[in-house]
Structure 1
């Protein structure tokens, strides 16, 4: 017969029907069974007050009806695991809603697991997306962040790329390779000067990234993209949307030279080998573009990795291992005719910031355990994770790092005091990083 495990008022473990004997109290809970959460496990909720104020417009969301769990409360609860790894599962979050400190600071009631699970299909992700956009607009260029040059800084340059997250086989909507290998794809627009995301969309893993970008184009931006987006019809769509592009094209791209442009000393110092105005594509493809583009060739030397053995990269789509050469050339296409070639090269170099953010998002922030499984629920969860990441940037004034996130998590778990967290943030600002 199963007997439930509880915690006494003194913190000792007990079994319903009788208290454990003194010899048994040192043994701890049965294997595989975690002790219930206590108030001391969830600390530092003061900082969530800023997030709660941001989400206040969601509290009047009409689809709450007579439910006691409102949209803003649900979003706050989904943010807790990114700040406190103790709450790694939905059941842990549900248990935390029974703590008085959580109820007081987050203005929530004790919530059932069924309500938390059902909520992912009841709320509109677009409403939370508006809160995310409001917060992203508050971000400013980070001090100490490298600058590409005066002319390039006047542009609203955004990197655009996608990243895969593995999904469960039962998530039928997340189609990818086959019925046993499913994934979701994050399509992200990233401001490369502020080092913050500006937009995100969750789709099935096999969704065409070029098609998604074409549907999300906006005027007045410079889209910085890798060779995966080297589709000339897409380039034309960007130009017709009153935006510009800085895009890598394949090394074997065909083109006809229209004009050779002179190189400055700064261009040569940046590794620029030529700067040409060209007609991209073979005869059959040249009609995809309404005007010639610039083509800048840049020679890149990879910095040496001191003390580290050279390792092979991940398996490619052809199931073979690849080595990145120490020196290689990049062909960069752009319609920005007035920008110096070395600043064009620097703009494309800044595209790497989105790759670093994906690494932070998935490996450091911890977006790996899927608390939601529906497409709408995952879009909400992604917005929650991005809002937490943006608040870390606003709290610290710096790009988020592993050590800073660890310090914040220690604070939320009650291991670090508020003055210690503030001292850590102050030291980052003094060091300028």
Structure 2
């Protein structure tokens, strides 16, 4: 009996360890599994023989693994990872050839992942509290960021033939600290046009001066959303009414709050077609110099201090781009085709969302490191729970 216990003990321990590792993986990707089933068979129309074994959700699972495991650095390393039995079991994928991986970026349409991204964003919890949470619940910070591309990526237009780049246009749900929607384009593009193609109803868009376009203002209003957009301080305005500034607004830096008859001069077409509001905020830049932020909005009902606060949250999208490039490593492109880069960017955004959903807070470098060790089995369940508890204390 003693010999029998000795022989079966290690096997039982190995089985328990493997089960624990699978459980960790399931908990991380549980919100995603049901959504991935929708795209499982997408792109298989050409498979008349019915012998395809590598599907869309398999490819996306490998891309998610690429961002979670820092030892994976290329498409070839992903192919090699599929050779290991535990990888295949935990991801539910078959062994895949390098040729199948390369073909995938041509077969699988990245547009099918975009709805999955949006649904995952709906699962994230808001971080704001009090009157800010109520007033800024649908605050969506918008910006674009360039990712350097190789000169041979001819589709990625930018400055010249030697300087190629792709731009990720991101709608960031500032109240939750998560990406809500994204599209990819060549770096040489129009940011207002990119936002116009992504507009949704019920949003409060906050943007910098690169999006200051009367036509964009009109489009945002037409879809049933609102905006707070910074404009140049030399813009021509026709003041209808000066509003009083409350003490709270003054403390937030508001120095002027006016109702405008129209934007621009009488010699130009009134594209917006309705009165607007201008809130001027005195802000201090990083170099210590003072500057005026001219913020145009259609929200007459919002307190002026909340207008100033909403614009400050625009920086959240800038910080997220830093996370995406410097921590997740999304600036290293594993594919050179337009569809392949888009799939990689969507996978990076999905990883960020899964972390936010699992931890209940904005992803940080330390949390990301802890999750990597947790998935490897080098951080226990109790240690991971203690880390999450610490995050909740800091956000409360």
TM interval, shorter chain, is 0.7 to 0.9
2:329 aligned to which of 366, 384, 389: 366
1:293 aligned to which of 263, 273, 276: 276
1:57 aligned to which of 28, 38, 53: 38
The reply to whether residue 136 of structure 1 matches residue 125 of structure 2 is no
Of 72-81 and 249-258, the range deviating more from structure 2: 249-258
Give the 3-state SS of the residue equivalent to 2:171 in structure 1. Answer: strand
The aligned counterpart of 1:210 is 192
Q: Distance in 1 between matches of 2:41 and 2:387?
A: 37
**1:247-396 alignment, distance < 5 Å:** 247-278=229-260, 279-285=262-268, 287-302=270-285, 324-396=287-359
Q: Distance in 1 between matches of 2:257 and 2:183?
A: 35
Q: Distance in 2 between matches of 1:412 and 1:194?
A: 24
Q: Distance in 2 between matches of 1:280 and 1:102?
A: 58
Give the 3-state SS of the residue equivalent to 1:73 in structure 2. Answer: helix
Residue ranges of structure 1 left out of the alignment (5+ in a row): 1-38, 304-323
Q: CA deviation at 1:150?
A: 6.0
**CA 1:346/1:285 → structure 2, altered by over 3 Å: closer, same or farther?**
farther
Give the 3-state SS of the residue equivalent to 1:63 in structure 2. Answer: coil
Kept in 1, the 8 Å contact 2:43–2:109? The answer is no
**TM score, norm. by length of structure 1:** 0.80
The reply to whether residue 164 of structure 1 matches residue 146 of structure 2 is yes
Kept in 1, the 8 Å contact 2:153–2:336? The answer is yes
The aligned counterpart of 1:22 is none
**CA 1:62/1:202 → structure 2, altered by over 3 Å: closer, same or farther?**
closer
The reply to whether residue 73 of structure 1 matches residue 36 of structure 2 is no
Q: CA deviation at 1:349?
A: 1.2
The aligned counterpart of 2:11 is none
Alignment deviations for residues 355-386 of structure 1 (CA, whole Å, 9 cap, x no partner) = 11111111111102211211111221111111
**CA 1:150/1:178 → structure 2, altered by over 3 Å: closer, same or farther?**
closer
The reply to whether residue 97 of structure 1 matches residue 82 of structure 2 is yes
The aligned counterpart of 1:34 is none
Give the RMSD, CA atoms, in angstroms.
2.2
Kept in 1, the 8 Å contact 2:28–2:358? The answer is no
**CA 1:49/1:259 → structure 2, altered by over 3 Å: closer, same or farther?**
closer
Kept in 2, the 8 Å contact 1:151–1:339? The answer is no
Alignment deviations for residues 179-204 of structure 1 (CA, whole Å, 9 cap, x no partner) = 11000000111111111111100110
Alignment deviations for residues 256-285 of structure 1 (CA, whole Å, 9 cap, x no partner) = 211111111111121111111123223333
Q: CA deviation at 1:432?
A: 3.3
What is the number of residues matched between the two proteins? 370
1:87 aligned to which of 72, 77, 81: 72
Q: Distance in 2 between matches of 1:347 and 1:184?
A: 28
Q: CA deviation at 1:170?
A: 1.1
Q: Distance in 2 between matches of 1:284 and 1:233?
A: 16
Q: Distance in 2 between matches of 1:96 and 1:369?
A: 18
**1:193-232 alignment, distance < 5 Å:** 193-232=175-214
The reply to whether residue 421 of structure 1 matches residue 380 of structure 2 is no
Of 251-260 and 92-101, the range deviating more from structure 2: 251-260
Q: Distance in 2 between matches of 1:366 and 1:131?
A: 22
**CA 1:208/1:432 → structure 2, altered by over 3 Å: closer, same or farther?**
closer
Greater per-residue helix proportion: 2
Alignment deviations for residues 309-365 of structure 1 (CA, whole Å, 9 cap, x no partner) = xxxxxxxxxxxxxxx443211111111111111111111111111111111111111
Q: Distance in 1 between matches of 2:123 and 2:164?
A: 36
The aligned counterpart of 2:96 is 111
**CA 1:248/1:213 → structure 2, altered by over 3 Å: closer, same or farther?**
same
Q: CA deviation at 1:302?
A: 4.7
1:126 aligned to which of 111, 117, 134: 111
Alignment deviations for residues 17-71 of structure 1 (CA, whole Å, 9 cap, x no partner) = xxxxxxxxxxxxxxxxxxxxxx9xx996444552444312222325173321111
Give the 3-state SS of the residue equivalent to 1:294 in structure 2. Answer: strand
Q: Distance in 2 between matches of 1:170 and 1:150?
A: 46
Kept in 2, the 8 Å contact 1:135–1:390? The answer is yes
